Structure formats: structure tokens, C-alpha cells
């Protein structure tokens, strides 16, 4: 469901109403039943309150689990067709960074591979030429919010809409391409996010595995996490912005990426952009 939406027209938001996920429908039904039981059944109020509290805990836990799909569609792997094509997706977050991103682009070019950059829109405003170069070299830029707010997962519908729609406009105006995919800061969210994404024609994309390269400065450890059971359809997460540094002071992505690209070549895999990989 999320995969098909990523390939929908970027020029207009969907007009159909938001299809409530089964877990959210069940949550709404539980609230109605609990309130009804608490009001009508003697002695049931403590149980009703307990059920609602547990339900809220489950929803909160889903929002704190980046790869969960309980709150709505969430792309964690490319579709089966991408597997048949031997494709993976390298996604690179939190840029563009004027020190790191140009060197990443050179490495990708040298290996003939493509990547998707989930960019922070205000950083694109600060480095518009670099953003345009990412697209000109055949890569994809997707939506990673306007400011990468640390309290993003606590926002309501208006806050989500403001952050995401503003980023959409900035990225489209700067690069000439309107994003079709969205990734939340740290992957954290709440139930109000999915209706906003649906209205804006965006698919939530998380990842298959990540290297934790914003806090791990050892390239071997980062590569070990990314390479464990690496296979077609995987979506891999790395960072050009906020990258950890090796003991020598090098952004760890620049040490890991050549290892990863060589691993893909040896395994007969090809890194493609998300819009290409999500094609049926």
C-alpha cells in the first residue's frame, strides 16, 4: 500500500479519504466499548480505564518503533519486483552537508550506483546548488521535514502538516522534483502523521537495517550491521549529516560507503533510488 502510493502522481494529493489501519480501527472500537462499559456496567470503570491506558501504551510503543506498520503503511523493504531485479536502496539522511555530500556523490559515481537522500529542507535552502547537483547526478531527494525537530513525534496534525508541506515546497522549488517519500526524524511518529502523509501523497519509508553511524565511529562495526544478511530488496540507512567521526576525524560514512558499494558489486546487487526501486 505504501509502496504503491510512492509511485502516485506528485502533482496532486490523493482525494480519497484516509483508509484507517486495522489497528487504529480496533483502538477506536476499544475506546467506545470501554467508555460504554465504564458508564453502564457497575464496577467496570477501573477495567475500562486500564484497557484504555494499555491501548495508549501500545500506540505509543508503535510510534517509538520506526519499522512498525501498526499506525499505517510503512515501507521497510523494496517490493518483490525489485528483488527480481537485484536492487537495494541506499538512503542517506540529514544532509546535504557541504563537506560530506560532495564526496559521497563522487564515491557513488565511481561505483556506478545510485542513492536516495532524505534531506532536511532548511539545509537544502542553505546549499541549493548542492541539492541540485544530487539530482543532476541521477540520485533522488526525498522529504525529511523542514527542520528535523527533536520533538517531531509529539506534533499534532497541524504541526505535521506545517513541517512536511513546507519541506515539500522547498524541495520541489529547489530541485524541480516533488518528493514522493517521507522519513520521520529518527523514524519516530504518532497516529496523526499518516493522515497528513496521505493527504500530501507521500509514503512513509523506514529501513531494513541501519548502521547507527551517527553515534558509531568504527567503520567496521557500521559495515557489519549493514552487511548482515544483506540481500536484494533491502533499504539501508546511513547519514551524510550528523555523521559520527572515526578516530582519525573522518566522517564514518566516507569510510563505510566504499566497503558497502564493493559488497554490493560482489553480491551482484545494484543500488537504485527509491522511486526506481518502488516501481512494480
The pLDDT, as a whole number, for residue 262 is 97
Burial 185-210 (b: 16+ CB within 10 A, else e): bebbbbbbbbbbbbbbbbbbbbbbbb
Model confidence, pTM:
0.84
What does the alpha-carbon distance between residue 23 and residue 228 come to, in Å, rounded to a whole number? 31
**Per-residue pLDDT, 9:** 35
- pLDDT at position 71: 87
240 carries an active-site annotation: no
Active site residue 93: yes
3-class secondary structure, 260: helix
Given the residues 93, 97, 213, 240, the one annotated as active site: 93
pLDDT of residue 196: 96
By CB atoms closer than 10 A (0-12, 13-18, 19+), residue 22 is exposed
Looking at 127, 144, 198, 239, which residue is catalytic?
239
Alpha-carbon dihedral sign for residues 29, 62, 203, 263: negative
| Residue 65 pLDDT | 81
DSSP designation for 245: B
Which stretches of the chain score pLDDT less than 50? 1-15, 30, 34, 48, 51, 56
Which distant-in-sequence residues (6+ apart) come within 8 Å of 170 by Cβ? 121, 122, 124, 125, 146
Amino acid at each position: 500500500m505504501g509502496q504503491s502510493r510512492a509511485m502516485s502522481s506528485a502533482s496532486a494529493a490523493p482525494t480519497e479519504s484516509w483508509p484507517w489501519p486495522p489497528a487504529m480501527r480496533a483502538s477506536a472500537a476499544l475506546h467506545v466499548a470501554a467508555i460504554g462499559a465504564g458508564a453502564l456496567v457497575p464496577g467496570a470503570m477501573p477495567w475500562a480505564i486500564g484497557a484504555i491506558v494499555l491501548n495508549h501504551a501500545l500506540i505509543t510503543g508503535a510510534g517509538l518503533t520506526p519499522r512498525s506498520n501498526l499506525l499505517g503503511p510503512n515501507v521497510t523493504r523494496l517490493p518483490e519486483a525489485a528483488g527480481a531485479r537485484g536492487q537495494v536502496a541506499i538512503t542517506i539522511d540529514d544532509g546535504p552537508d557541504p563537506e560530506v555530500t560532495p564526496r559521497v556523490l563522487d564515491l557513488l559515481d565511481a561505483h556506478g550506483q545510485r542513492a536516495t537522500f532524505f534531506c532536511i529542507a532548511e539545509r537544502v535552502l542553505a546549499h541549493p546548488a548542492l541539492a541540485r547537483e544530487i539530482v543532476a547526478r541521477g540520485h533522488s531527494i526525498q522529504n525529511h521535514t523542514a527542520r528535523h525537530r527533536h520533538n517531531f513525534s509529539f506534533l499534532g496534525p497541524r504541526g505535521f502538516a506545517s513541517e512536511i508541506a513546507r519541506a515539500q515546497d522547498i524541495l520541489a522549488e529547489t530541485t524541480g522534483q516533488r518528493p514522493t517519500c517521507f522519513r520521520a526524524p529518527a523514524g519516530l511518529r504518532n497516529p496523526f502523521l499518516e493522515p497528513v502523509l496521505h493527504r500530501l501523497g507521500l509514503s512513509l519509508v523506514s529501513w531494513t537495517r541501519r548502521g547507527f553511524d551517527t553515534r558509531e565511529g568504527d567503520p567496521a562495526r557500521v559495515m557489519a550491521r549493514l552487511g548482515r544478511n544483506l540481500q536484494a530488496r533491502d533499504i539501508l540507512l546511513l547519514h551524510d549529516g550528523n555523521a559520527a567521526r572515526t578516530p582519525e576525524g573522518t566522517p564514518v560514512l566516507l569510510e563505510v560507503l566504499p566497503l558497502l558499494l564493493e559488497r554490493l558489486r560482489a553480491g551482484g546487487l545494484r543500488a537504485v533510488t527509491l522511486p526506481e526501486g518502488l516501481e512494480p
